[in-house]
Chains A and B, each alone.
Chain A
Amino acid sequence: MMRARVAYSGAIHEAVPIAGADRAQGAGAEDPDRERLRLADGRMVAAEDVVWLPPFEVGTVIALGLNYADHAKELAFNAQQEPLVFLKGPGTLLGHRGMTRRPAGVNFMHYECELAVVIGAEARQVARAHAMDHVAGYCIANDYAIRDYLENWYRPNLRVKNRDGGTVLGPWFVDSADVADPAQLGLRTYVNGQLKQQGNTRDLIFDIPYLIEYLSAFMTLSPGDVILTGTPEGVVNVMEGDVVACEIDGLGRLVNTIVADVVFGR
């Protein structure tokens, strides 16, 4: 099943889509503003009348850099021996239909559509063959970066990758049982309705079982920890007012709007 966490009428609720998983499929044909939700308490609400939160209680956020061969090539990176992993804090998280600030004066701020893998059972020194038993489910992540702030120390550093509102998760948490093959999922990003990024999780350099084996060899993974598995090629600069929609087959469509400093009183 797919479920969201939303704030509505003074409380936080679990919510499910009324039309079921079907309407989350496809290439963004339907109008997301027409989406309707059923709250756990029975109320039916419109998507635009709720505040969408990250769809699960998020623990440690583990992100992959350059985990698609085409994107690594796009950024002129050579083949790697070990996954390029970085960590993110809770302050950067944002839900569906939120706003992300683009600071004045930067030249290159880009989205990154990624498959997010949510851990459901503690994982410590888990072998590849058993890795998928530790996955609770999936969601879409949009992992923004501002390349202007890249420095050559402990890359990519937090000013690039851990900004407030720079890690968008949602709209739905989808149970692993409902994702037939997470290694065959198409990813697409639209900017103002135009397709800009396209890829498929079959092209991950380090696949999900490998990442769980690799990470759990040195750090215990706990329920709620999430692995953002990296982004394919096709990242472009986004500007104030742009609407960025990330889609993954079966997981829905994650929408985010870029806003200027003034919205945040800067």
Chain B
Amino acid sequence: MVEHVPATAGCLSMPFDVYPYRLSGTVYGALLNHRSVLAALGESANQLPYKAPPIAPILYIKPRNTLSLSGDPVRIPLETPELEVGACLGLVIGRTACKVSESQALDFVAGYLIVADVSVPHSNLHRPSVRFKARDGFCPLGPAVTARAAVANCDALMLRIHVDGVLAQTASTADLIRPAARLLADVTDFMTLAPGDVLALGSAAPAPRVRPNQTATIGIDGLGSLRIPFLGAVP
């Protein structure tokens, strides 16, 4: 049994016309960074095993095997009937960003793109298995990098997810707990981001779910749309 891997996954570059012109292939994302996620957790965020809501940014990594482009099919593994689709605004880093201040943080951004955080649904967020988020193809990106100058205000962008043409979620970057500049400042306090790295700002809850042979489309104001066809596991 061989899973299909999109041909683009291993050599994703997605050229764009501002420095650094290509993605590095490193993708980080913030979890629990949209107010709707904490609201959905409610009182449980204060109970075991969490004990308290997050203090510092909670981040994840989408490794290179997960990267895919708009239109590349994503396989739903046998272990789950459906997958979750998170829609995120992604920052593309333009200059080496180490301990940047919130007021200057956006100067380190080359542009923006749509990042889909595809996951196997999991309710326990204490120490979830990496296999929920790091499967081949689980990070569609795109459809292109839009230069920073073309986006007036990254803190007021609407995100929409359609599943088979039906609106399944709307969210706004205005509802992020740490907006772009604040997140960049807090993250680069302990980890330097390099030109071409992507930092996804976090998706909203509840995440729409998809089954085999459905197609999710994520649109963000001014950034176009990212199409993700889902298929069943290879028998």
Q: Given A153-B126, A219-B65, do A163 and B77 touch, yes or no (CB 8 Å)?
A: no
**Closest partner residue, chain A, to B58 (CB atom):** A153
Chain B stretch 175-217: residues in CB contact (< 8 A) with chain A: 190-194, 197
Complex contact A157–B64 (CB within 8 A) = no
Whether a CB of chain A sits under 8 angstroms from the CB of B167 is no
Whether a CB of chain A sits under 8 angstroms from the CB of B26 is yes
How many angstroms between the C-alpha atoms of A152 and B54 in the bound complex?
8
Whether a CB of chain A sits under 8 angstroms from the CB of B28 is yes
Q: Which of B28, B126, B134 contacts A89 (CB 8 A)?
A: B28
Q: Given A89-B28, A151-B58, do A163 and B64 touch, yes or no (CB 8 Å)?
A: no
Complex contact A87–B61 (CB within 8 A) = yes
Complex contact B136–A219 (CB within 8 A) = yes
Complex contact A219–B63 (CB within 8 A) = yes
Whether a CB of chain A sits under 8 angstroms from the CB of B57 is yes
How many angstroms between the C-alpha atoms of A84 and B193 in the bound complex?
26
Tell me which residues across on chain B come within 8 A of A82, comparing CB atoms: 129
Complex contact B193–A219 (CB within 8 A) = no
Q: Given A89-B61, A219-B136, do A158 and B191 touch, yes or no (CB 8 Å)?
A: yes
Tell me the smallest distance from the CB of A105 to a CB of chain B, in Å: 13
Whether a CB of chain B sits under 8 angstroms from the CB of A159 is yes
Complex contact A157–B59 (CB within 8 A) = yes
Q: Given A82-B129, A153-B31, A219-B134, do A90 and B26 touch, yes or no (CB 8 Å)?
A: yes
Whether a CB of chain B sits under 8 angstroms from the CB of A91 is yes
Complex contact A91–B191 (CB within 8 A) = yes
Interface range on chain B (Cβ under 8 Å from partner): 35 or more
A122-135 toward B: CB 8 Å interface, digit per residue (1/0)?
00110000000000
Q: Given A60-B63, A163-B191, do A86 and B56 touch, yes or no (CB 8 Å)?
A: no
Tell me which residues across on chain B come within 8 A of A91, comparing CB atoms: 26, 191-194
Whether a CB of chain B sits under 8 angstroms from the CB of A25 is no
How many angstroms between the C-alpha atoms of A86 and B132 in the bound complex?
12
Complex contact B136–A218 (CB within 8 A) = yes
**Closest partner residue, chain A, to B134 (CB atom):** A219
Complex contact B136–A88 (CB within 8 A) = no
Complex contact A87–B130 (CB within 8 A) = yes
Complex contact A149–B135 (CB within 8 A) = no
Q: Given A85-B129, A124-B3, do A164 and B191 touch, yes or no (CB 8 Å)?
A: yes
Whether a CB of chain B sits under 8 angstroms from the CB of A162 is yes
Tell me which residues across on chain A come within 8 A of B59, comparing CB atoms: 154, 157-159, 162
Tell me the smallest distance from the CB of B6 to a CB of chain A, in Å: 11
Complex contact B135–A218 (CB within 8 A) = yes
Tell me which residues across on chain B come within 8 A of A152, comparing CB atoms: 49-52, 126
Whether a CB of chain A sits under 8 angstroms from the CB of B144 is no
Whether a CB of chain A sits under 8 angstroms from the CB of B235 is no
Tell me the smallest distance from the CB of A222 to a CB of chain B, in Å: 7
Q: Given A125-B2, A151-B58, A157-B56, do A164 and B192 touch, yes or no (CB 8 Å)?
A: yes
Chain A stretch 153-173: residues in CB contact (< 8 A) with chain B: 153-155, 157-159, 162-164
Tell me which residues across on chain B come within 8 A of A154, comparing CB atoms: 31, 58-60, 125-128
How many angstroms between the C-alpha atoms of A155 and B60 in the bound complex?
10
Complex contact B125–A162 (CB within 8 A) = no
Complex contact A219–B58 (CB within 8 A) = no
Whether a CB of chain A sits under 8 angstroms from the CB of B15 is no
Tell me which residues across on chain A come within 8 A of B194, comparing CB atoms: 90-91
Whether a CB of chain B sits under 8 angstroms from the CB of A220 is yes
How many angstroms between the C-alpha atoms of A266 and B188 in the bound complex?
13
Tell me which residues across on chain A come within 8 A of B51, comparing CB atoms: 152
Complex contact A159–B190 (CB within 8 A) = yes
Chain B contacts to A: CB under 8 angstroms: 1-3, 5, 9-10, 24, 26, 28, 31-32, 49-52, 54-61, 63-66, 77, 98-99, 125-131, 134-136, 190-194, 197
The 4 A-B pairs at the shortest CB distance, nearest first, are namely A87-B61, A60-B63, A158-B59, A85-B130
